[in-house]
């Protein structure tokens, strides 16, 4: 019987040894009481790299890093296992080739029947991939936290199911005035006015969000100091995996200035209605209703279609359509303010030839293929004090009107020059005598009748078909010029041509450098503002950026990461500007790329885009030829940044 038991026991031990040797996902091996390796399985060999012959008789401390050896971790691990019956931990360990892996380690003491320590059983598992995943998740969460905390134009914070504040970003502190320590744990209803609290609006808002998934509204809210601000509020329900409501995300934006601007616009419109003759009032009302109804139709229908949640290229087109409609609405408002001469201008000293030269490619594209654009920029033209974007908008309006007057094509010329208005010149009696700069746009189009010429600057007056124009283009030009202290004159011959001349006050002692090759002779307009290299790994963003730069008159080259960008920079291609995202895959980020690019091409201008706050980006040593722009950006912001960068 004993013999049979012995044979069975030996057989059982053999099977157990075969099992241990077959395990490849775990390193399972034995140590003697001093830590010398006395057995070695296939799993240990697989991810530590040592064969059994290489490691038997060696001390297990060779698997530990120098830092852990310095703290005597191997010795302390064995002592803990012997004293407490087990040692368990995670940490970096070394493979035979010197590379590190993240290990989960268990050390168990092995004792005989009398309790004498015979050695240790050590089980190690490679958890490197899990740690990388955890670190990537942690990094992603940290980036998201930094993003939310970095937003200062929006109050973004969380509420628990009862409406108590559970976190607080910098935008919330800036807008509402409370620090995080002051507001955490308090009910969000304290931001509401007494009237709204009496009507139980906070409770009804949470109930709506809980029931419908979202609550959205505008209304008065209170700051810490008791002052009111007009807020746009969105409350979104947050659910867990079981579908249970665990809280709410609340986003608030201070739109007081927008509300004041809307009220100011309403007052300006009322004043305009009172001052215009009855016919102009009728055109104003009909034009506003018509244009804004069209915009509202585009926006509403596109957004309705987007609710289908499809994820194809059609969605992108719908979004772009809505954006274009919104931009048209903004443009109408700006042009109306321009005519009433109430637009907020930011004048600065500029050379008109430089402004035209920087805007030349866009003007060329606005003309279309049938119209030949030419420039005759006078040498040594004086400087003017104007709002540059409004000057460009006025010039673009004149170009578009001239283009539309030449449906079959023709020639369009922009001319600049120095003019002196004398005291006895009655043609411009409203002007003060003195030096002026003239900017003239002349076409070879259909011209205007005297009746049309008399009304050309009236708001919403247009000879174009319904839907082809707003009638505010020349009104904007008139408002800009007169508010800048100048005068505008239109000369037209029916069936032959139209010439529009803007006279703007010249500035004493202002002779900025003019654009290159300026000699006063007529020359064709440039069809390109230069070449830009766009570096962006997100295809949708790359497409939008390419379209924006194309609309700004640039020839576009693209790359999806730093490696591709450097390959383009190594070619002989002429590149004026590099526009790169800061965060990119494959190692090198946009800041590092800009440094390398400037080493290769010292004169290259660089514009970096990022969703992170600029203060969080490493910008040391980038030099004056590098600038930043925050995401999301608009084409007007890009144009301003590029103008400043290349000036």
CATH of residue 630's domain is 3.40.50.2300
Q: How many CA atoms lie within 13 A of 22 on its CB side?
A: 6
Structure tokens at 626: 């590098």
CA 606 to each of CA 460, 612, 623, 644: distance values in angstroms, whole numbers, following the listed order: 42, 18, 10, 12
359 C-beta neighbours (distance < 10 Å), count: 24
Q: What sign results for the dihedral spanned by CA atoms 568, 569, 573, 578?
A: positive
- 566 within domain boundaries: yes
* Of 254, 273, 300, the domain-final residue: 254
pLDDT at 137: 66
- 260 within domain boundaries: no
**What DSSP character marks residue 496?**
T
Dist CA 20 CA 14 (whole Å):
10
Dist CA 37 CA 119 (whole Å):
10
Dist CA 270 CA 85 (whole Å):
87
* Of 254, 283, 315, the domain-final residue: 254
Residues 512 and 385 in one domain: yes
Q: What is the signed CA dihedral for 362, 368, 373, 377, rounded to 10 degrees?
A: -20
Residues 581 and 520 in one domain: no
* Own/partner long-range contacts of 151-157 (Cβ < 8 Å, ≥24 apart): 153/253, 154/251, 154/252, 154/253, 155/250, 155/251, 155/252, 155/253, 156/249, 156/250, 156/251, 157/250
* Of 254, 277, 308, the domain-final residue: 254
Structure tokens at 411: 């020639």
Q: Strand pairing of 348-350 and 245-254? A: unpaired
Dist CA 33 CA 112 (whole Å):
13
Q: What sign results for the dihedral spanned by CA atoms 25, 30, 36, 42?
A: negative
Residues 69 and 86 in one domain: yes
- 216 within domain boundaries: yes
Residues 466 and 381 in one domain: yes
Cα angle vertex 419, ends 418, 420, to 5°?
Answer: 130
Structure tokens at 577: 């500007």
Reference 456, options 438, 431, 439, 473; nearest CA is 473
Dist CA 229 CA 221 (whole Å):
6
pLDDT at 533: 93
Dist CA 554 CA 360 (whole Å):
11
Phi, psi of 464 (to 5 degrees): -80, 165
Cα angle vertex 587, ends 586, 592, to 5°?
Answer: 125
Dist CA 66 CA 78 (whole Å):
18
Residues 520 and 382 in one domain: yes
3-state SS class at 380: coil
3-state SS class at 586: coil
The residue with tokens 């900025």 is 512
Residues 411 and 518 in one domain: yes
Residues 356 and 319 in one domain: no
Reference 205, options 185, 223, 191, 225; nearest CA is 191
Structure tokens at 254: 């201070």
Regions of the chain where pLDDT drops below 70: 1-24, 136-152, 264, 266-345, 423-430, 458-473, 509-521, 523-528, 611-622, 647
- 142 within domain boundaries: yes
- 165 within domain boundaries: yes
- 417 within domain boundaries: yes
Whether the Cβ atoms of residue 355 and residue 392 lie closer than 8 Å to each other: yes
Count of domains observed in the chain = 5
- Using CB atoms within 10 A of its CB, is residue 513 exposed (0-12), middle (13-18) or buried (19+)? exposed
Residues 460 and 396 in one domain: yes
Residues contacting 616, CB < 8 A, separation 6+: 146, 150
Gyration radius from the chain CA atoms: 36
The residue with tokens 């409350």 is 235
pLDDT at 368: 77
Dist CA 159 CA 268 (whole Å):
41
Dist CA 462 CA 456 (whole Å):
8
Dist CA 79 CA 65 (whole Å):
19
Dist CA 611 CA 609 (whole Å):
7
Structure tokens at 215: 């609550």
Residues 83 and 231 in one domain: no
> What is the residue range of 50's domain?
2-126
Residues 363 and 477 in one domain: yes
Reference 593, options 11, 328, 584; nearest CA is 584
- 259 within domain boundaries: no
Residues 217 and 327 in one domain: no
- 290 within domain boundaries: yes
Residues 364 and 503 in one domain: yes
Structure tokens at 413: 């010329």
């Amino acid at each position: 019987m004993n013999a049979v038991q012995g044979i069975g026991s030996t057989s059982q031990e053999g099977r157990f040894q075969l099992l241990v040797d077959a395990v490849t996902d775990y390193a399972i091996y034995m140590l003697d009481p001093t830590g010398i390796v006395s057995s070695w399985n296939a799993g240990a060999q697989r991810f530590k790299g040592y064969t059994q012959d290489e490691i038997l008789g060696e001390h297990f401390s060779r698997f530990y890093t120098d830092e852990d050896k310095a703290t005597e971790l191997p010795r302390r691990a064995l002592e803990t296992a012997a004293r407490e019956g087990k040692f368990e931990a995670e940490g970096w360990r070394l493979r035979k080739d010197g590379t590190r892996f993240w290990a989960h380690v268990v050390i168990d003491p092995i004792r005989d029947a009398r309790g004498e320590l015979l050695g240790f059983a050590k089980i190690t598992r490679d958890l490197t991939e899990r740690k990388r995943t955890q670190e990537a998740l942690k990094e992603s969460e940290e980036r998201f936290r930094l993003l939310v905390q970095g937003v200062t134009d929006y109050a973004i914070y969380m509420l628990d199911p009862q409406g108590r504040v559970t976190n607080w970003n910098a935008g919330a502190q800036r807008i509402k005035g409370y620090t995080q320590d002051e507001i955490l744990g308090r009910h969000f209803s304290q931001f509401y006015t007494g009237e709204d609290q009496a009507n139980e609006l906070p409770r009804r808002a949470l109930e709506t969000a809980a029931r419908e998934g979202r609550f959205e509204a505008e209304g008065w809210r209170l700051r810490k100091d008791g002052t009111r601000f007009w807020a746009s509020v969105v409350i979104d329900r947050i659910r867990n995996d079981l579908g249970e409501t665990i809280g709410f995300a609340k986003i608030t934006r201070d739109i007081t200035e927008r509300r004041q601007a809307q009220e100011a616009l309403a007052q300006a419109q009322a004043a305009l209605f009172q001052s215009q003759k009855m016919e102009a009032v009728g055109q104003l009302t009909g034009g506003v209703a018509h244009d804004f109804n069209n915009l509202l139709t585009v926006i509403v229908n596109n957004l309705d279609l987007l609710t289908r949640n499809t994820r194809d290229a059609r969605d992108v087109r719908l979004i772009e359509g809505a954006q274009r409609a919104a931009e048209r609405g903004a443009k109408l408002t700006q042009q109306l303010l321009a005519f009433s001469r109430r637009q907020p201008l930011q004048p600065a000293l500029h050379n008109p030839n430089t402004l035209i030269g920087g805007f030349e490619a866009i003007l060329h594209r606005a003309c279309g293929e049938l119209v030949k654009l030419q420039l005759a920029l006078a040498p040594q033209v004086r400087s003017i004090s104007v709002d540059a974007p409004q000057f460009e908008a006025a010039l673009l309006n004149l170009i578009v009107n001239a283009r539309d007057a030449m449906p079959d094509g023709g020639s369009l010329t922009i001319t600049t020059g120095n003019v002196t208005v004398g005291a006895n010149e009655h043609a411009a009696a409203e002007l003060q005598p003195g030096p002026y700069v003239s900017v003239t746009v002349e076409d070879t189009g259909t011209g205007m009748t005297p009746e049309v010429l008399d009304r050309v600057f009236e708001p919403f007056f247009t000879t174009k078909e319904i839907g082809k124009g707003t009638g505010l283009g020349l009104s904007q030009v008139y408002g800009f010029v007169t508010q800048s202290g100048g005068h505008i004159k239109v000369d037209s011959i029916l069936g032959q041509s139209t010439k529009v001349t803007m006279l703007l006050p010249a500035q004493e002692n202002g002779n900025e450098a003019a654009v290159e090759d300026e000699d006063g002779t007529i020359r064709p307009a440039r069809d390109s503002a230069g070449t830009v290299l766009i570096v962006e790994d997100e295809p949708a963003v790359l497409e939008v950026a390419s379209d924006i730069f194309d609309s700004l008159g640039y020839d576009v080259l693209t790359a999806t990461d730093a490696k591709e960008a450097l390959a383009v920079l190594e070619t002989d291609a002429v590149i004026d500007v590099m526009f790169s995202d800061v965060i990119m895959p494959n190692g090198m980020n946009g800041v590092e790329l800009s440094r390398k690019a400037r080493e290769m091409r010292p004169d290259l201008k660089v514009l970096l885009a990022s969703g992170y706050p600029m203060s969080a980006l490493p910008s040391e040593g980038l030099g004056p030829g590098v600038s930043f722009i925050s995401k999301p950006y608009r084409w007007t912001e890009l144009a301003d940044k590029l103008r400043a960068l290349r000036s």
